[in-house]
DNA sequence: GCGTGATCATAA
DNA sequence: TTATGATCACGC
């Protein structure tokens, strides 16, 4: 089955709302895909499934999933209280000072300009096939959120430009953090500093902290 | 190896 | 229990 990209925002939201409440098995049936027995060796499976079902067209390009609409799709695992289980990967950390100059042209801002969050039950005691898709949340950073994101981004990028990437810790940044993003800890990529010197380092990615994404999607149930 | 989709596993 | 650091799968 091949789902065409939604023609506009309304269409996308309508499609996403139509999935609210159904299980991953039901959605997989709709697009003729087999549900893996667990996420252990299929970590991005649910995210890919939603991309296919909603007609995302950016594939693995470093752009928002719905190119024409400028909207990024993110699934987010939540526990039984509606709380975010995990941090959220945003994009690769570029390691050339030329690409780290300006927040307004950054990959992070492009990806987070507008995000359609789709919560999915993520408790490990629920079989993958029975996990339900939640109510989508269309989000755009407000003035204060963007200010903090920009500040985190600037602080981290400044360090990279200064050639201090190896001093960056995941504990840095209020909303944004930088963590490894690679096949394994031995993977290497090139990092250029402000003087044009190049050295090999572990590839990393930008992530949103779970505490921040939690504030975006809100809590379905504060009891328990 | 790069960049997408993320979650796993264990130290603290 | 939680967050950091590590890892899995895929297309190209």
Any domain includes A60: yes
| Closest alpha carbon to A93 in A197, A195, A166, A196 | A166
Q: Which of helix, strand or coil describes residue A56?
A: coil
**A192 — pLDDT class (breaks 50, 70, 90):** very high
Q: Which of helix, strand or coil describes residue A153?
A: helix
C-alpha dihedral over A46, A114, A16, A127, to 10 degrees?
A: 20
Any domain includes A3: no
Any domain includes A209: yes
Which pLDDT score, from 0 to 100, does residue A223 have? 38
Nucleotide nearest to A73 (CA to C1'): B5
Distances, alpha carbon A192 to alpha carbons A34, A121, A164, A188, A201, in Å: 43, 41, 11, 13, 10
- A136/C2 CA-to-C1' distance in Å: 26
CATH number at residue A104: 3.40.600.10
Any domain includes A4: no
Any domain includes A116: yes
Any domain includes A164: yes
Chain segment A135-157, per-residue pLDDT in tens = 999 999 999 999 999 999 999 99
Is-above-0.75 flag for pTM?
A: yes
| Closest alpha carbon to A161 in A101, A204, A91 | A101
Strand pairing category for A115-121 and A137-139: antiparallel
Chain segment A48-68, per-residue pLDDT in tens = 999 999 999 988 899 999 999
A170 Cβ contacts chain B strand, under 7 Å: no
DSSP state of A4: P
DSSP state of A172: -
Mean pLDDT over each residue of chain A, to the nearest integer? 95
A76 Cβ contacts chain B strand, under 7 Å: yes
A86 Cβ contacts chain B strand, under 7 Å: yes
CB–CB of A3/A11 below 8 Å? no
Any domain includes A2: no
Percent of chain A with pLDDT over 70: 97
Q: Which residues pair with A207 in a beta bridge?
A: A89, A177
Which pLDDT score, from 0 to 100, does residue A1 have? 62
Pair of tokens at residue A87: 């941090």
**Number of domains composing chain A:** 1
- Print the domain residue range for A51: 9-223
- A10/B10 CA-to-C1' distance in Å: 44
Pair of tokens at residue A163: 């050639």
């Amino acid at each position: 089955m091949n789902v065409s990209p939604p023609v506009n925002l309304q269409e996308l939201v309508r499609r996403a709302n139509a999935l609210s409440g159904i299980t991953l098995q039901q959605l997989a049936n709709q697009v003729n895909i087999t549900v893996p027995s667990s996420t252990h060796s299929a970590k991005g499976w649910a995210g890919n499934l939603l991309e296919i079902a909603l007609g995302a067209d950016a594939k693995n390009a470093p752009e928002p999933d719905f190119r024409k609409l400028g909207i990024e799709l993110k699934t987010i695992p939540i526990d039984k209280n509606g709380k975010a289980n995990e941090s959220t990967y945003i994009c690769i950390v570029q390691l050339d000072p030329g690409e780290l100059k300006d927040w307004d042209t950054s990959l992070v801002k492009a990806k987070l300009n507008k995000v359609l969050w789709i919560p999915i039950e993520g408790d490990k005691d629920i079989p993958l096939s029975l996990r339900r898709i939640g109510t989508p949340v269309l989000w755009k950073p407000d003035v204060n959120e963007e200010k903090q994101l920009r500040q985190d981004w600037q602080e981290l990028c400044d360090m990279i430009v200064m050639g201090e990437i190896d001093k960056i810790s995941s504990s840095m940044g209020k909303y944004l953090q930088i963590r490894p993003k690679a096949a394994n800890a031995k993977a290497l990529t090139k990092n250029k500093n402000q003087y044009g010197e190049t050295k090999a380092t572990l590839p990393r990615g930008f992530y949103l902290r779970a505490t921040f994404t939690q504030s975006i999607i809100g809590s379905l149930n504060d009891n328990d």
